[in-house]
Amino acid sequence: MTLGKLFLGSGQECLADRLANRDNHFNFVRLLLASMVMIDHAGLVVSGMASSEPFRPFGVSLGYMAVDGFFILSGLLIARSLATKGVGAQYFLARLLRVYPALIFLAVIAVFLIGPIVAQEAYWRGWATISYGIEIIKFGDTSGGPIGFYPDNPFPNEFNSPLWTLRYEMLCYVLAPFAFWLGIISHRFRFLICLVFLGGVSVIFDAHEKSIFGSHVLASCVRLGFAFGIGIGLWHIRNLVRGQFGWLVLGLGVFMIAGVFDVGQDVADTVFMATFVMWLGLAKWPTLSKLPLKSDISYGVYIYHYPIMQILIANFPDLSWPRLLLFSTILTLPAAWVSWTFIEKTALRYKKGFRANGKTKSVAS
């Protein structure tokens, strides 16, 4: 195989084509990313200790890498949406309808179903009873859980650990149109300057253990903003990207070098995940094409698996992490399918009744 074939893949359809004809495996990639988060949390729920994930290549957990992968895909698809449909009411409505229906359902069952069943103390006692559900809906502090939520678990009182990323996802959704209006996203050179700046700041945060200025929130904004920006960057070069194996190997090499020398690991992880997501999402594998993955259940898997794990470990405290992962997967997949079929997909139908107003301003081709 020549270097040109390994990196350029001449003759193969590019990312732009694969997005247009929907001949891609990004639903599968999202489900795989959600599964990586589940693997991490199985170890966390069983041990009750941070940094107890089963797999941590060069000190980076699978879940950490998966979240970057989610933001890369979000950046790609948001850039595509802004470029093809413009900015208007439909854009914001589509984002709200994708995130909120399942999230509201989760908040309701947390407060009014799971909370009363598992609470080991007086539950209905004023505002404190429903405050956790409000925190979920407003993307607030979702650490902890409903009153009395399994205080004796190895990781006690924690209802849904992964929800913290959603506030940053929504922040990216809100800021992206403003960056589009200002020409930051649509102008390649301006965008590149901003992306390099974010990458440099991310390296600085990484070197200071993500707590420079005492702000872990700011560090998360920079790290996840950079991943989102990488996705936007992929849209800019969509006619060149073909998901070739050579780029995956190069990305893995960057990730390994950063791990060995302990420098710029967040940036290197994001670069590697971008090559991985493109390689797998654009792979021409007959087996992947035959998988029944028309339903996007990854969001449901992401937001429902953790409370299911906590309930299982509370009732079966001797479960090892592989068994917890197995049993929680058996329960989570049907829950995610039901959520997609009857809540998420149903809600998304409403966005078809709205159309964005005004002219569409296209991202530079």
pLDDT digit of tens for each residue in the chain (365 aa)?
Answer: 555 566 666 557 899 999 998 889 999 999 999 999 999 999 999 998 877 777 888 888 999 999 999 999 999 999 999 998 888 888 999 999 999 999 999 999 999 999 888 876 678 876 778 899 999 999 998 888 988 899 999 999 999 999 999 999 999 999 999 999 888 888 889 999 999 999 999 998 887 765 555 567 888 999 999 999 999 999 999 999 998 889 999 999 999 999 998 889 999 999 999 999 999 999 888 777 667 667 789 999 999 999 999 999 999 999 999 999 999 999 999 999 999 999 999 999 887 665 544 444 444 43
Number of domains in the chain: 1
Instruction: Assign 160 to helix, strand or coil.
Output: coil
From CA 288, how far away is CA 167, in angstroms rounded? 32
The residue range of the domain holding 307 is 14-352
Overall pTM > 0.85 = yes
In this structure, is residue 179 part of a structural domain? yes
In this structure, is residue 1 part of a structural domain? no
The answer to whether 9 and 242 have CB atoms below 8 angstroms apart is: yes
The answer to whether 278 and 13 have CB atoms below 8 angstroms apart is: no
Q: In the prediction, which pLDDT does 67 show?
A: 97
From CA 8, how far away is CA 42, in angstroms rounded? 39
Q: In the prediction, which pLDDT does 363 show?
A: 40
Q: In the prediction, which pLDDT does 362 show?
A: 41
The answer to whether 341 and 295 have CB atoms below 8 angstroms apart is: yes
In this structure, is residue 45 part of a structural domain? yes
Q: Concatenated DSSP letters for 11-51?
A: TS--HHHHHHTT-S-HHHHHHHHHHHHHHHHHHHHHH--TT
From CA 252, how far away is CA 335, in angstroms rounded? 34
Q: In the prediction, which pLDDT does 365 show?
A: 34
In this structure, is residue 298 part of a structural domain? yes
In this structure, is residue 357 part of a structural domain? no
User: Which residue has tokens 């809100």?
Assistant: 174
Instruction: Assign 150 to helix, strand or coil.
Output: coil
In this structure, is residue 322 part of a structural domain? yes
In this structure, is residue 82 part of a structural domain? yes
Among 58, 54, 56, which residue's Cα sits nearest to residue 42? 54
Q: In the prediction, which pLDDT does 360 show?
A: 42
From CA 347, how far away is CA 264, in angstroms rounded? 40
